[in-house]
Amino acid sequence: MRRLALRDAAVLLATLGLWAADASLRGSGGAAALTVAVLAGAMTALTGYLVHEWGHLLAARATGGVVHLPDRLASVFLFRFDADRNGRAHFLAMSMGGFVASGLSVALLLEILPLDTTSGIVALVLTGLGVLATIVLEFPAFWRVARGAAIPNGAAYVSSHTNEAAG
Protein backbone atom coordinates (compact mmCIF):
# COMPACT_ATOMS: atom_id res chain seq x y z
CA MET A 1 0.00 0.00 0.00
CA ARG A 2 2.96 2.28 0.62
CA ARG A 3 3.99 2.11 -3.06
CA LEU A 4 0.50 3.18 -4.11
CA ALA A 5 0.52 6.05 -1.60
CA LEU A 6 3.90 7.23 -2.91
CA ARG A 7 2.66 7.01 -6.50
CA ASP A 8 -0.42 9.04 -5.71
CA ALA A 9 1.57 11.57 -3.66
CA ALA A 10 3.75 12.04 -6.76
CA VAL A 11 0.60 12.63 -8.84
CA LEU A 12 -0.55 15.23 -6.31
CA LEU A 13 2.84 16.97 -6.35
CA ALA A 14 2.86 17.01 -10.15
CA THR A 15 -0.65 18.50 -10.10
CA LEU A 16 0.43 21.23 -7.69
CA GLY A 17 3.47 21.93 -9.87
CA LEU A 18 1.24 22.32 -12.91
CA TRP A 19 -1.00 24.74 -11.01
CA ALA A 20 2.08 26.80 -10.06
CA ALA A 21 3.20 26.83 -13.70
CA ASP A 22 -0.33 27.73 -14.79
CA ALA A 23 -0.43 30.67 -12.39
CA SER A 24 2.88 32.00 -13.70
CA LEU A 25 1.85 31.59 -17.36
CA ARG A 26 -1.73 32.81 -16.96
CA GLY A 27 -2.47 35.74 -19.20
CA SER A 28 0.61 35.24 -21.35
CA GLY A 29 -1.35 33.48 -24.10
CA GLY A 30 0.15 30.96 -26.46
CA ALA A 31 0.16 27.22 -26.81
CA ALA A 32 2.40 26.57 -23.78
CA ALA A 33 0.09 28.45 -21.42
CA LEU A 34 -2.98 26.66 -22.81
CA THR A 35 -1.28 23.25 -22.60
CA VAL A 36 -0.23 23.80 -18.99
CA ALA A 37 -3.73 25.04 -18.08
CA VAL A 38 -5.42 22.00 -19.62
CA LEU A 39 -2.91 19.65 -17.97
CA ALA A 40 -3.41 21.32 -14.58
CA GLY A 41 -7.17 20.90 -14.88
CA ALA A 42 -6.92 17.30 -16.09
CA MET A 43 -4.47 16.34 -13.36
CA THR A 44 -6.82 17.89 -10.79
CA ALA A 45 -9.59 15.58 -11.98
CA LEU A 46 -7.19 12.61 -11.87
CA THR A 47 -6.22 13.55 -8.32
CA GLY A 48 -9.92 13.73 -7.43
CA TYR A 49 -10.40 10.23 -8.85
CA LEU A 50 -7.51 8.98 -6.72
CA VAL A 51 -8.98 10.63 -3.60
CA HIS A 52 -12.28 8.88 -4.39
CA GLU A 53 -10.52 5.52 -4.70
CA TRP A 54 -8.54 6.07 -1.49
CA GLY A 55 -11.84 6.85 0.25
CA HIS A 56 -13.12 3.45 -0.87
CA LEU A 57 -9.93 1.68 0.19
CA LEU A 58 -9.58 3.33 3.59
CA ALA A 59 -13.24 2.70 4.45
CA ALA A 60 -12.93 -0.94 3.40
CA ARG A 61 -9.80 -1.41 5.49
CA ALA A 62 -11.23 0.52 8.48
CA THR A 63 -14.20 -1.86 8.65
CA GLY A 64 -12.07 -4.98 8.33
CA GLY A 65 -12.90 -5.56 4.68
CA VAL A 66 -10.74 -7.86 2.59
CA VAL A 67 -9.15 -6.17 -0.41
CA HIS A 68 -6.51 -7.20 -2.91
CA LEU A 69 -3.89 -4.61 -3.86
CA PRO A 70 -2.49 -4.61 -7.39
CA ASP A 71 0.88 -6.14 -8.21
CA ARG A 72 1.83 -3.19 -10.41
CA LEU A 73 1.52 0.56 -10.04
CA ALA A 74 -0.12 1.05 -13.44
CA SER A 75 -3.25 -0.90 -12.45
CA VAL A 76 -6.61 0.61 -13.39
CA PHE A 77 -7.99 -0.18 -9.92
CA LEU A 78 -6.41 0.97 -6.68
CA PHE A 79 -7.63 -2.31 -5.19
CA ARG A 80 -10.12 -5.09 -5.77
CA PHE A 81 -12.87 -5.76 -3.26
CA ASP A 82 -13.26 -9.44 -2.34
CA ALA A 83 -16.94 -10.16 -2.98
CA ASP A 84 -16.77 -13.60 -1.33
CA ARG A 85 -14.99 -12.73 1.90
CA ASN A 86 -16.74 -9.42 2.64
CA GLY A 87 -20.26 -8.89 3.86
CA ARG A 88 -22.92 -6.32 3.06
CA ALA A 89 -21.72 -3.95 5.81
CA HIS A 90 -18.18 -4.01 4.37
CA PHE A 91 -19.51 -3.27 0.87
CA LEU A 92 -21.72 -0.42 2.03
CA ALA A 93 -18.92 1.13 4.11
CA MET A 94 -16.44 0.77 1.24
CA SER A 95 -18.90 2.41 -1.15
CA MET A 96 -19.70 5.26 1.24
CA GLY A 97 -15.99 5.94 1.74
CA GLY A 98 -15.64 6.79 -1.95
CA PHE A 99 -18.82 8.85 -1.99
CA VAL A 100 -17.77 10.87 1.07
CA ALA A 101 -14.24 11.42 -0.28
CA SER A 102 -15.72 12.65 -3.57
CA GLY A 103 -18.14 14.96 -1.84
CA LEU A 104 -15.39 16.51 0.26
CA SER A 105 -13.12 16.84 -2.79
CA VAL A 106 -15.80 18.56 -4.86
CA ALA A 107 -16.59 20.96 -2.00
CA LEU A 108 -12.89 21.80 -1.65
CA LEU A 109 -12.45 22.30 -5.40
CA LEU A 110 -15.48 24.58 -5.59
CA GLU A 111 -13.94 26.64 -2.81
CA ILE A 112 -10.40 26.93 -4.19
CA LEU A 113 -10.56 26.56 -7.99
CA PRO A 114 -10.17 29.75 -9.98
CA LEU A 115 -13.32 29.25 -12.06
CA ASP A 116 -12.52 32.18 -14.33
CA THR A 117 -9.50 30.36 -15.79
CA THR A 118 -9.06 27.62 -18.36
CA SER A 119 -7.44 25.35 -15.76
CA GLY A 120 -10.31 25.86 -13.32
CA ILE A 121 -12.96 25.24 -15.97
CA VAL A 122 -11.21 22.07 -17.22
CA ALA A 123 -10.86 20.80 -13.64
CA LEU A 124 -14.50 21.51 -12.87
CA VAL A 125 -15.86 19.94 -16.08
CA LEU A 126 -13.74 16.79 -15.77
CA THR A 127 -14.53 16.48 -12.06
CA GLY A 128 -18.22 16.83 -12.88
CA LEU A 129 -17.89 14.03 -15.44
CA GLY A 130 -16.22 11.91 -12.76
CA VAL A 131 -19.10 12.55 -10.37
CA LEU A 132 -21.55 11.64 -13.12
CA ALA A 133 -19.63 8.41 -13.76
CA THR A 134 -19.84 7.61 -10.05
CA ILE A 135 -23.59 8.18 -10.05
CA VAL A 136 -24.07 6.01 -13.15
CA LEU A 137 -21.56 3.23 -12.41
CA GLU A 138 -21.31 2.95 -8.63
CA PHE A 139 -24.46 4.27 -7.00
CA PRO A 140 -26.88 1.71 -8.54
CA ALA A 141 -24.82 -1.19 -7.15
CA PHE A 142 -24.66 0.50 -3.74
CA TRP A 143 -28.43 1.04 -3.78
CA ARG A 144 -29.17 -2.57 -4.81
CA VAL A 145 -26.91 -4.01 -2.10
CA ALA A 146 -28.37 -1.62 0.49
CA ARG A 147 -31.81 -3.00 -0.44
CA GLY A 148 -30.72 -6.64 -0.05
CA ALA A 149 -29.10 -7.69 -3.32
CA ALA A 150 -25.91 -9.71 -3.41
CA ILE A 151 -22.53 -7.97 -3.59
CA PRO A 152 -21.65 -7.60 -7.28
CA ASN A 153 -18.90 -9.65 -8.85
CA GLY A 154 -16.69 -8.51 -11.73
CA ALA A 155 -14.51 -5.48 -12.52
CA ALA A 156 -13.32 -4.19 -9.12
CA TYR A 157 -15.32 -6.83 -7.23
CA VAL A 158 -13.60 -10.18 -7.33
CA SER A 159 -14.24 -13.65 -6.06
CA SER A 160 -11.50 -14.78 -3.68
CA HIS A 161 -11.43 -18.03 -5.68
CA THR A 162 -10.86 -16.12 -8.93
CA ASN A 163 -8.23 -13.92 -7.29
CA GLU A 164 -6.35 -16.90 -5.85
CA ALA A 165 -6.34 -18.59 -9.26
CA ALA A 166 -5.03 -15.39 -10.90
CA GLY A 167 -2.42 -14.79 -8.18
Task: Write out pLDDT tens, residues 104-129.
Answer: 999 999 999 999 999 999 999 999 99
pLDDT at 38 (0 to 100) = 97
pLDDT at 76 (0 to 100) = 78
pLDDT at 29 (0 to 100) = 83
**At a CB cut-off of 8 Å and minimum separation 6, what does 101 contact?**
51, 52, 54, 55, 56
Per-domain residue ranges of the chain:
2-166
pLDDT at 83 (0 to 100) = 87
Backbone angles phi, psi at 37, to 5 degrees: -60, -45
What residues pair up with 82 in beta bridges, in sequence order? Answer: 158
Distance, CA of 138 to CA of 101 (rounded, Å): 14
pLDDT higher than 60, residue 167: no
Task: Write out pLDDT tens, residues 72-87.
Answer: 888 878 898 888 898 8
Determine the residue type at 86.
N
**At a CB cut-off of 8 Å and minimum separation 6, what does 123 contact?**
40, 41, 42, 44, 45, 109, 113
Q: Helix 118-137 to helix 88-112 angle, to the nearest 10 degrees?
A: 160
pLDDT higher than 90, residue 27: no
pLDDT higher than 50, residue 166: no
Confidence of residue 162 (pLDDT cuts 50, 70, 90): low
The pLDDT of 25-34, averaged and rounded, is: 90
68, 158 contact by CB (below 8 A): yes
pLDDT at 63 (0 to 100) = 94
Q: Positive or negative CA dihedral for 133, 12, 44, 108? A: positive
Q: Which residues of 86-99 are buried (b: 16+ CB within 10 A; e: fewer)?
A: beeebbbbbbbbbb
What residues pair up with 68 in beta bridges, in sequence order? Answer: 80
pLDDT higher than 70, residue 100: yes
Distance, CA of 70 to CA of 21 (rounded, Å): 33
pLDDT at 74 (0 to 100) = 84
Confidence of residue 48 (pLDDT cuts 50, 70, 90): very high
Who has greater pLDDT, 41 or 163? 41
Percentage of residues of the chain with pLDDT beyond 70 = 95
